[in-house]
Amino acid sequence: MANWVFIGLRTGIRTSPYPRRADLAPGVSPGRPAPAVAYDEAMAAAAEHCPVDAINRRGSELAIDENRCVHCSRCRSGADRSGIPWESGYEWGAYTQPAAAREALDRRFGRSLHIRFIDAGACGACMSEARQLNNPYYNITRLGFFITPTPRNADVLLVAGPISDAMRTPLLKAYAALPAPKRVMAIGACAICGGVFGPSFVCAGGLRELLPVDVVVPGCPPPPLAILHGLLVLVDRKPPREPPKEGSATPSSQAPQESFP
């Protein structure tokens, strides 16, 4: 008979320091193309490789549409991974609407938020990353986040996948079953804009088409800490990564980046 209590205690605490401090463990996030780089010939060549047209030029600088990026690594072309530099980090959660248009969630939700995860055609990577939220490293229950099996008890729908048509009815029913105030979070490029599956004959290509999305967590897949950041953003416990304003090349908020050398 294995003594599971002892085994558990012997393992010790493995919990990530995030969100108190930045989690600098290697491999927690694959990172993504860094937007704030000067645009030059090499960059233009690298941008050619982008299969989802996420790399554009804005003035003299590179502009990257994070929501479209599918982490294909092609912009860091070649075996030596030259090309567009990638930044580390994972604080990717962002509101879809400017602060003025948002209706803040009651502060009480900051302490306990119940989440219903919905797989609307996700490939398994997003699902796996969301599942990791419950592993001892990330352990979201310590932060008051709970995954519930029924939307009746949930405050947030966490949706992944390009919204396949067969999941449209279940998704809408789950949204209807959610008690107000309800919030919707789209995780992964597929749920945000359809990703590589795009709008097609069987996919709506993005959650926006069906439901009002509050927070998006880009990535393909977004690592667990990015999803966690999205949840913290939703309850105002972390500042969001604001969407870039029209005409400006640099994203307005770079604050979270400072902790990652």
Assigned token pair, 5: 């209590």
Q: Given candidates 162, 206, 240, 243, which one binds another protein under the rule CB under 8 A?
A: 162
Q: Given candidates 56, 173, 212, 248, which one binds another protein under the rule CB under 8 A?
A: 173
171 scored as a contact of another protein (CB under 8 A): yes
Buried b (16+ CB within 10 A) or exposed e, 161-192: bbbbeebbeebeebbeebeeebbbbbbbbbbb
200 scored as a contact of another protein (CB under 8 A): yes
Q: Given candidates 15, 17, 24, 25, which one binds another protein under the rule CB under 8 A?
A: 25
Segment 203 to 222, residues that bind another protein, using CB under 8 A: 203, 220-221
The residue written with tokens 């948002």 in the block is 102
73 scored as a contact of another protein (CB under 8 A): yes
Helix axes 224-234, 125-132, angle to 10 degrees: 70
Q: Where are the alpha helices (DSSP H) in 115-243?
A: 125-132, 168-177, 188-193, 224-234
Closest distance of CB 100 from another protein, Å: 25
Segment 76 to 105, residues that bind another protein, using CB under 8 A: 79, 81
Q: Given candidates 11, 38, 53, 103, which one binds another protein under the rule CB under 8 A?
A: 11
* 8 or 59: CB nearest another protein: 8
Cα–Cα distance measured from residue 137 to residue 116, given in angstroms and rounded to the nearest whole number: 21
